Structures are given as C-alpha cells and as structure tokens.
Amino acid sequence: MKLEEVLFSAYGFSSFRPGQREVIEQVIKGKDVVALLPTGMGKSMCYQLPAHILPGTVLVVSPLLSLMQDQVAQLKKMGEKSVVAINSFLKPQEREKIWQTLGSYRFIFISPEMLVQPFVKKQLEKIRVSLLVADEAHCISQWGFDFRPDYLRIAEILPILKFPQVLALTATATEKVTQEIKAYLKLDEPFIYKHSMDRKNIVYDIKKFEDSRQKLEWLTSFVRKSAGPGIIYAGTRRKSQELAAILMDQGISASYYHGGMEHQDRVFVQQQFQNGELDWVCSTNAFGMGVHISNIRHVVHFQLPTSVEGYVQEVGRAGRDGEAALATLLYAEGDEGLLQSLVMDELPTRHEIQQVASHPARADQLVADGIVRETALRVIAYWLSRLSESETLRQMDFLQSEKIKQVDKMKKLVNLESCIREYIIECFDQHLKGKPENCCVNDGIDYTVFGKPQAKPQKVVLESWQNRLNALLP
C-alpha cells in the first residue's frame, strides 16, 4: 500500500506536508532519524503514520503533561482508540489496567521522568516497542533552552527495549544541538532531515519603550484594538497573572497560565482557549506545546525570552493556518537585568550543589526545607551520578557560560538594525532563501494586513486600571 493511501485511510489527508514524506520513508526503511520541522509543520504525523505499518508499539517520550494529553486527545478524535498516556495523575485502578494490557496499545505516551523509573522499565521490557520517539528533542541538549536532565537518560531504556528504532523530533535545533541529540540517544548514522526554519507568514516586530509603564500602556491599547486569539508571553509567573488581571479589568477576554497552577486549572484554561472562549492567554513559556489552534494571529513577548530558540518556539504558535501573523517583542530599558537573572535561576547554584554532594541521603529533605530547589535537584542528581563534586561544579560553570551566550544572542536581536528574519535563520546555522514582502520591522511592516492600524498608543484613562497598575508596579 502506498503511503498516501495509508495517510488517507488512517487520517483522511490526501497529501503530506513538506518534510513528512521524507522522514516517514526513512522510518519505514528502519533508519534512526533526527527531524527538524518548524512548529506547525505536523511533526506528529512522522510517527503516527508509521505506527500503522510497523509491528508492535510506538513509545513517545513527551516533555509536558498538557502536551501528552493533547496528543492523546487528537489521536482519539481521529478514531484511534489504542492510545494511552502514562502519568502521575492516573488513578491506581487505571494504572493497573494499563500495566495488564500494555502490549495492546499502538501508542504509549510517557514523560522522561516516568520512563526512567525502575518499575516502568520492567513493564516496558515485557512488550515489543518498534519505535521510540523523542518528542521536543531539543530538551536533550545541555545548552538547550529547556534543559531536562532526564532526557539525557532516554538512551538507558534502549537496551531494555531491545534497541528499537529512534525518531528524534524538534522544531528548533542548531548544529550543536543536533550533535548533542545524536550523542545522547547513541545514534551512529541517523538520517537527518532539516527543513528551513523560516515561516514566511510570520512578521517580526519590535517595540522599544523607556520603561515598563509605557510597555503596559502600549499592550493594553494594542489588545483592545486587535482581534484574538493571541498569546502574551511573560518572563515570570507573577507577571503573567498581573498582565491577565490588567486586561480583564478592561473587559478583555483573557486569563493566565503557568506551571505553578493546579493541573485542572491549567487544563481548563487551555480548553477555554482552544474552544474560542478566551481571546488572550498571558503565560510563561509553559504554555504552547500541544496547543493546536491554527488561527492565532498574535504572539506578544512582554519580556525578553531567555534564548532565540525559545523565542522561535513561542512565535511558532502563531499562523499555523498559513495566514499572516504578527510576532511583537516588547523591550524597555533595563530588561536585560531580568533576562540575566532568569537565565541564572535556571541552573543550580554552587551552594545547592555543595549541599546535595555533602548530604546525598538527605536530598529530598533539603528540598522540603527550601535549601535546594526541586528542579535544581534533578540536574544536580544527574551530574553527581556521573561526575565528582568538583567536576559537577565545573559543568555548571560551563552551562552557565552557554546560557550567557544565549542571552547575548537575544540582546543582539533586540538591537538589530538589519533583517530580523535573516538573523534568526542564521542562529540555526541556515541561510535565508528569499524574504516575504511583509518581513520585519527593520525592513518595514504593512500593519494593515492584520486589520488594525498601528498608531502610537494613547494613554488609557480608566480609573480601575490605573489604580491596579499603581498597585502592581513599584
């Protein structure tokens, strides 16, 4: 049977998107594959279709619970019943039923943290896994923007699964990150497919202000005049809540989303946004993966992202329908200070490393006492299991220097006078092949394409909003 026939009979599509056929053909041939496909290009089809041809189960390692749940929901909506997500939210009876019937599932989704648990390894050893998928594989990279130490341990499962094929999928990977993916997944000669990172329908804009107050005035005015759906990314959880509160005071259909919320609250916000009940979501970078909304017209960054990779991931949520979408980055003097502190907070401190190294048996208690952060402990535990304390300290210094390089790239983007699109593509070791007519602010933007004029913002004189703003800002 031809691949197009399988595509139509299983999913109702008559043709492949760019890059899908090339990747799927290599998977069907039995090759390990590393595939770089920009956000919105249909990466999930690269393992969904082969599952109808390969024997056994496709095991998908996915970084976020919300992403896993969305992928399972999408498959079930397409009529796929033989799919399950293994996570900590399963009830005991549900989990027991899954273990008893594990080999009957065509698709199993699991987090890297769950994958490396000894009991889970034993259960997976009993079934036939034909393809292991590392989704969002840039998380494997030591210097990726979303460093996850348990991603580095995925290779531990390969001997247990009798070395299945491996498919690594990502939307953002430089040559350095690609080599990291190959090394940590122990891929000798994988087929590597790299699609151009350029999304021609996304227009890049940068707005500069003297302070955060001006930024807020512009944002409020912009959102009131612009039709959603749209995402506003903030650098911290608190800021996402503050922005949502200000917009809601204006009668705007908005809410916030971040990793500190209760699971059911996050799911509720995501469902509201997907159902069109919310026009705007103010979020940290926790929101976006697995959000299949084709008509997002605006992505606004209220604060600087910590890396160009993260910026491209988040901007990529917009314009999946192929229509024009605007990515607006807001900058005020002094924003670099927040950016630098956010980046440094992502890694363990020397004190945290020394505490865990001195008291390994009390690691969990150190977290409970607030001496070591839970996220920091995962990174520390990984490296201390492989390196000495002094070597781990040097490793953190190295990772810190790589993070600073990412910050410097982001600073350069903000102050760029040449083409933003060209700079972004070069950051991924690619070359731009032609510019769209509507490209970026440095080449000139036709804002009428987005249906709203971009005049200089006027001050909003609503007392309730001004009072809240004064209360939130120093």
Section 439-466 average pLDDT? 63
Length of the chain equals: 474
pLDDT at 89 over 80: no
Instruction: List all residues 6 or more positions away from 470 whose beta carbon is below 8 Å from its beta carbon.
Output: none
- Answer yes or no: is 345 within a domain: no
- Tell me: do 126 and 232 sit in the same domain: no
Residue 392 located in a structural domain: no
Residue 31: CATH number of its domain: 3.40.50.300
- Residue at a domain's end among 194, 225, 253: 194
Say if residue 108 is in the same domain as residue 152.
Answer: yes
**Mean pLDDT of all residues belonging to the chain:** 87
pLDDT band at 375 (very low <50, low <70, confident <90, very high): confident
Quick check: is 266 in a domain? yes
User: Which residue is listed with tokens 């056929």?
Assistant: 21
**Same domain, residue pair 128 and 215:** no
Regarding whether 155 and 131 lie in a shared domain, the answer is yes
Under the banding of pLDDT at 50, 70 and 90, the label for residue 290 is: low
pLDDT of residue 399: 85
- Domain membership flag for residue 52: yes
The predicted-structure confidence for 343-372, as pLDDT tens digits, reads as follows 777 789 999 999 999 999 999 999 999 999
| 136, 56: one domain | yes
Residue 231 in 3-state DSSP? strand
Q: Which of 146, 167, 194 is the last residue of a domain?
A: 194
Q: How many domains is the chain partitioned into structurally?
A: 2
Mean pLDDT of 158-174: 91
Residue 231 falls inside a structural domain: yes
Question: 468 falls in which pLDDT band (50, 70, 90)?
Answer: very low
Same domain, 42 and 188: yes
pLDDT score recorded for residue 462:
36
pLDDT band of residue 186 (cuts 50, 70, 90) is very high
Q: Quote the CA–CA distance of 100 and 103 in Å, as a whole number.
A: 8
Confidence of residue 454 (pLDDT cuts 50, 70, 90): very low
Does a structural domain hold residue 379? no
Say whether both 75 and 188 belong to one domain: yes
Q: Choose between 450 and 98: higher pLDDT.
A: 98
Taking the alpha carbons of 141, 142, 147, 149 in that order, is the dihedral positive or negative? positive
Is the separation of the CB atoms in 416 and 442 below 8 Å? yes
pLDDT above 50: residue 233: yes
pTM equals 0.83
Say if residue 243 is in the same domain as residue 129: no
With respect to residue 70, please indicate whether it lies within any of the assigned structural domains.
yes
Range of the domain at 170: 3-194
Contact 443, 429 (CB under 8 A): no
Same domain, 59 and 105: yes
pLDDT digits (tens, 9 = 90+) for 294-336: 889 999 999 998 889 889 989 988 998 889 999 999 999 888 8
Mean pLDDT of 50-54: 94
For Cα atoms 36, 38, 41, give the angle at the middle one, nearest 5 degrees.
Answer: 105
Tell me: pLDDT of 470 over 60: no
Sheet architecture: strand order including 202-209: 202-209, 325-332, 298-301, 230-233, 280-283, 254-257
Confidence of residue 142 (pLDDT cuts 50, 70, 90): low
Residue 380 lies in a domain: no
- Residue 322 contacts residue 343 (beta carbons within 8 Å): no
- Which residues are within 8 A (CB) of 133 and not within 5 positions of it... i.e. 6 or more apart? 47, 58, 59, 60, 61, 166, 167, 168, 169
Taking the CA atoms of residue 271, residue 227, residue 197 and residue 143 in that order, the dihedral angle to the nearest 10 degrees is: -60
Same domain, 23 and 169: yes
pLDDT score at 451: 60
**444: Cα separation from own chain's centroid:** 29
Note the pLDDT of residue 145.
Answer: 43
Instruction: Encode pLDDT of 53-62 as tens digits.
Output: 999 999 999 8
Residue 168: Cβ-neighbour burial (10 angstroms; 0-12, 13-18, 19+)? buried
pLDDT higher than threshold 70 for residue 291:
no
- Which pLDDT value is given to residue 422? 97
Residues 6+ apart with CB under 8 A from 335: 303, 304
Listed range (24-33, 141-150, 230-239) with the worst mean pLDDT: 141-150
Regarding whether 311 and 171 lie in a shared domain, the answer is no
Of the residues 174, 194, 214, the one at which a domain ends = 194
Q: Is 442 found in the same domain as 330?
A: yes
